[in-house]
Amino acid sequence: MSLQDELDQLRERVEGNLPPPSLKVVREAIAALKRAGIEAGVVKVGETAPAFALPNQDGRSRALDEALRRGPLVLTFYRGVWCSYCNADLKNLQRYVPQLEAAGASLLAISPELPEFSMKMIRTRKLTFDILSDAHSHVAAAYGLRWKLGEELKLLYRDHLNVNLTRYHGNDDWTLPMPARFVVRPDGVVAYAEADADYRRRPDPDQLLEIVRAAC
């Protein structure tokens, strides 16, 4: 079963438990992002990856230039520990870590959550790569991924789905990154970029190995 097949099954279960008015809010938020053209503003192949230095789950700073000294970097942005689709995506990515490392690459994940929730994701999903905390989604914005939840969606998350982003993020921004995946060459140039305003869809990592090997 492919990753997207798994996510499609997850989508049926998740959305099957939502009342029609709530499901309408979710679908309209996705459609609004697509209409706004957020995907067009994402960092593209051939561009220089924006630099960053962010704390990992242990509070230790991890920087882009440090990671690139070791070889190509696979960089994945996700929404949070509360997102079932993100959990499935990161768990699936973990399967590729030995092959990526054997090819000379490393993997980092970025979310707007506080380090304690990054650690929870690592422990729950038995991840061996670092998760970095992007406070206020500044790095996500540099990559063209940040968006702000509208009032209807905010109320749905907070009051009906028990997803209070103020608690998870430690601020009242109520912003999220559009899920995305990048491969950055050691010279800092983006060799692969994928993002989808529909967070229920994620790229299958199978092609990452070929891209990483070519990026060495």
pLDDT in tens, the chain (216 residues): 889 999 999 999 999 999 999 999 999 999 999 999 999 999 999 999 999 999 999 999 999 999 999 999 999 999 999 999 999 999 999 999 999 999 999 999 999 999 999 999 999 999 999 999 999 999 999 999 999 999 999 999 999 999 999 999 999 999 999 999 999 999 999 999 999 999 999 988 888 888 988 887
Q: What are the structural domain ranges in the chain?
A: 3-215
Distance CA 139, CA 143 (A): 6
Distance CA 99, CA 75 (A): 15
Distance of CA 138 to the CA centre of its chain: 14
The predicted pLDDT at position 207 comes to 82
The predicted pLDDT at position 1 comes to 80
What does each C-alpha distance from 200 to 44, 50, 85, 187 come to in angstroms? 21, 26, 6, 32
**Cross-strand partners of 61:** 55
Whole-prediction pTM:
0.96
Residue 14, H or E segment: helix 3-16
> To the nearest 10°, the Cα dihedral for 118, 28, 139, 71?
70
The predicted pLDDT at position 146 comes to 98
Structure tokens at 9: 């099954």
Three-class secondary structure of residue 63 per DSSP: strand
Q: What is the sign of the dihedral through the CA atoms of 70, 76, 79 and 84?
A: negative
What does each C-alpha distance from 148 to 15, 59, 84 come to in angstroms? 22, 26, 20
Q: Which of 77, 54, 55, 82 is nearest to 146 (CA)?
A: 77
Select the CATH number that applies to the domain covering 3-215 from these four: 3.60.21.10, 3.40.30.10, 3.30.200.20, 3.40.190.10: 3.40.30.10
Distance CA 108, CA 33 (A): 25
Q: With beta carbons less than 8 A apart as the criterion, state whether 180 and 195 touch.
A: yes
The predicted pLDDT at position 36 comes to 96
